């Protein structure tokens, strides 16, 4: 995979609690220079869409724990879309899933998907789930008509693994996120079935790829 092809599949990310607009601009500059997408906090989406209108812009919903009410997630999604977001990464309610309330998990996702005309990626936080729960989370995302499933927020212990990506790819396109920091690691995720990578090390990943 050459650099140009790889870059288009990288969501260069900055989502930490201390993120400033200057940090966002740095990520957008890198994304624009290298041909990557960007994933940023929702409070900066309006400014970011004006600063770098040619960069595909993703933001997060219900982040990082997924425990917002469905109404709050839906409104957050609409607000982000209207501010200029091109894609949304929403966190499921892990507690609801673990309690066996799969119907509520599905409804939560469905409300967000139905509220916006842009792709919604569903973060299932794999490190917190059993194998059976991972399957159920993916099934909820499929039933809710989500565009992707995503491994992790990066704010729980653990991140993307080859095994989890392979499992999730049985259901929907996968965004592998959490702990992917090099070209070789990204290639391993792609080989396991990932379509997209989310990483704060986007430049390092792309720079490690062959130029042609």
Distances (CA, A) of 68 to 3, 88, 96, 108, 165: 38, 15, 12, 10, 26
Mean of all residue pLDDT scores within the chain: 97
Q: Establish whether 150 is a catalytic residue.
A: yes
Mean pLDDT value of segment 83-102 = 98
Mean pLDDT value of segment 94-99 = 98
Q: What are phi and psi of 168, to 5 degrees?
A: -65, -30
- Active-site option among 73, 121, 134, 175: 175
pLDDT on residue 211: 82
In eight-state DSSP terms, residue 2 is -
Q: Which residues contact 22 (CB under 8 A, 6 or more apart)?
A: none
Mean pLDDT value of segment 80-106 = 98
Residue-wise DSSP of 147-186:
SEEE---SSSS----HHHHHHHTTTS-EEEESS--SHHHH
Q: Assess whether pLDDT exceeds 90 at residue 2.
A: no
**Which of 14, 15, 4, 12 has its CA nearest to residue 37?**
12
Rounded Cα–Cα distance for residues 177 and 190 (Å): 12
- The pLDDT tens digits of the residues spanning 33-65 come to 999 999 999 999 999 999 999 999 999 999 999
pLDDT on residue 212: 74
Mean pLDDT value of segment 83-109 = 98
Q: Assess whether pLDDT exceeds 80 at residue 196.
A: yes
Q: 60 with 98: CB under 8 angstroms? A: no
Rounded Cα–Cα distance for residues 159 and 146 (Å): 21
CA within 13 Å, CB half, 94: 19
pLDDT on residue 88: 98
Share of the chain above pLDDT 70, in %: 100
Q: Assess whether pLDDT exceeds 90 at residue 190.
A: yes
- Active-site option among 89, 121, 134, 164: 89
163 pLDDT tier (thresholds 50, 70, 90): very high
Q: Establish whether 175 is a catalytic residue.
A: yes
| Residue ranges of domains in the chain, CATH in brackets | 3-208 (3.20.20.70)
pLDDT on residue 159: 84
Mean pLDDT value of segment 144-168 = 95
Q: Assess whether pLDDT exceeds 90 at residue 137.
A: yes
- Active-site option among 73, 121, 134, 150: 150
Q: 175 with 194: CB under 8 angstroms? A: yes
Mean pLDDT value of segment 80-94 = 98
Q: 121 with 87: CB under 8 angstroms? A: yes
Q: Establish whether 121 is a catalytic residue.
A: no
Q: Which residues contact 160 (CB under 8 A, 6 or more apart)?
A: 126, 151, 152, 176, 177, 178, 179, 180, 189, 194
Which of 97-101, 120-124, 131-135, 156-160 shows the lowest mean pLDDT across its residues? Answer: 156-160
């Amino acid at each position: 995979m050459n650099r140009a092809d790889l870059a288009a599949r990288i969501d260069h990310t900055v989502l930490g609690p201390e993120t400033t607009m200057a940090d966002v601009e740095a990520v957008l500059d890198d994304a624009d220079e290298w041909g990557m997408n960007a994933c940023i906090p929702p409070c900066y989406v309006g400014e970011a869409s004006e600063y770098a209108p040619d960069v595909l812009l993703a933001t997060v919903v219900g982040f990082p724990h997924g425990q917002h009410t469905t109404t709050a997630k839906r409104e957050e999604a609409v607000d982000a879309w209207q501010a200029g977001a091109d894609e949304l990464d929403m966190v499921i309610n892990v507690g609801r899933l673990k309690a066996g309330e799969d119907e509520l998990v599905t409804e939560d996702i469905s409300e967000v998907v139905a509220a916006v005309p842009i792709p919604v990626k569903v973060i299932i936080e794999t490190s917190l789930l059993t194998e059976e729960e991972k399957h159920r989370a993916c099934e909820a995302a499929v039933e809710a008509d989500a565009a992707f499933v995503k491994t992790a927020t990066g704010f729980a212990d653990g991140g993307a693994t080859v095994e989890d990506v392979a499992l999730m790819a049985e259901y929907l396109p996968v965004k592998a996120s959490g702990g992917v920091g090099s070209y070789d690691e990204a290639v391993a995720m792609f080989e396991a079935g990932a379509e997209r990578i989310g990483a704060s090390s986007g430049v390092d990943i792309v720079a490690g790829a062959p130029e042609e």
